[in-house]
Chains A and B, each alone.
Chain A
């Protein structure tokens, strides 16, 4: 069974770079597309982007210039970097994937990690 676990600093200063990792267990990171989604407090879900091991990437146009996603096949985790953060980037960040068992619906999610951007 595929399981995902996000980890990160929890607190990031405004204008700095947010870095998160998502450890994958139960499957190789080479197998699926990996997606990052976030939810600001009191607001809805926002798709950030998806990444495949061959480098194929799709990103939310609103974040494209600030967002970098990558995969570490040796350690079996995926990572996200978001530059020049502001208070608007404060959110719970989720990594997720679709295994294909349920079409392209996200059927595997991490538990999420809260990132707060401080001034």
Chain B
């Protein structure tokens, strides 16, 4: 099935570590396509956070990291800060759709 599934919400206290999962299938993540992650604040365009599973663009703090295994990927955020409160989206390519998929998004709340 061509979709990427994320938990609707996650939360953590300042300084803690949280992870956001992105579960796909054999036609997308499991087929070897890379996973990218974006951070989206209300009223602003998405910002690239992680590309090709585990690479950070220049300027993204090393508190953000990504991983991929099998048909799933994860975004980890350590040392949570209030400014990390945002929506996070995963993105991959789907060979069955011949197009791009986004996960449904995960809202991170910093308690």
Interface of A toward B, CB cutoff 8 Å: 35, 37, 44-47, 49-50, 58-61, 94, 96, 102-107, 109-112
Q: Check A46 against B51 for contact (C-beta < 8 Å).
A: no
Q: Check A45 against B105 for contact (C-beta < 8 Å).
A: yes
The closest CB in chain A to the CB of B93 belongs to: A104
Find residues 66-111 in chain B having any chain A CB closer than 8 Å to their own CB. Answer: 89, 91, 93, 97-105
Partner of B102, one of A44, A104, A107: A44
Alpha-carbon separation in the docked complex, A50 to B99 (Å): 9
* Chain B residues closer than 8 Å to A112, beta-carbon distance: 45
Contacts between chains A and B (CB distance < 8 A), count: 66
Known: A102-B55, A104-B93, A106-B91. Contact between A61 and B45, CB under 8 A? Answer: no
Query: Chain B interface: which size bin?
Result: 20 to 34
The closest CB in chain B to the CB of A107 belongs to: B48
Which residue among A96, A105, A111 has the maximum number of chain B CB atoms within 10 Å of its CB?
A: A105
Interface of B toward A, CB cutoff 8 Å: 34, 36, 38, 40, 44-48, 51-52, 55, 57, 89, 91, 93, 97-105
16 extra A-B contacts, CB within 8 A, seeds A45-B38, A103-B34: A37-B102, A45-B91, A58-B98, A59-B99, A61-B97, A102-B36, A102-B55, A104-B36, A104-B93, A105-B34, A107-B48, A109-B47, A110-B45, A111-B44, A111-B45, A112-B45
Nearest Cβ on chain A to B23's Cβ, whole angstroms: 15
Q: Check B89 against A45 for contact (C-beta < 8 Å).
A: yes
Alpha-carbon separation in the docked complex, A57 to B57 (Å): 27
Nearest Cβ on chain B to A30's Cβ, whole angstroms: 22
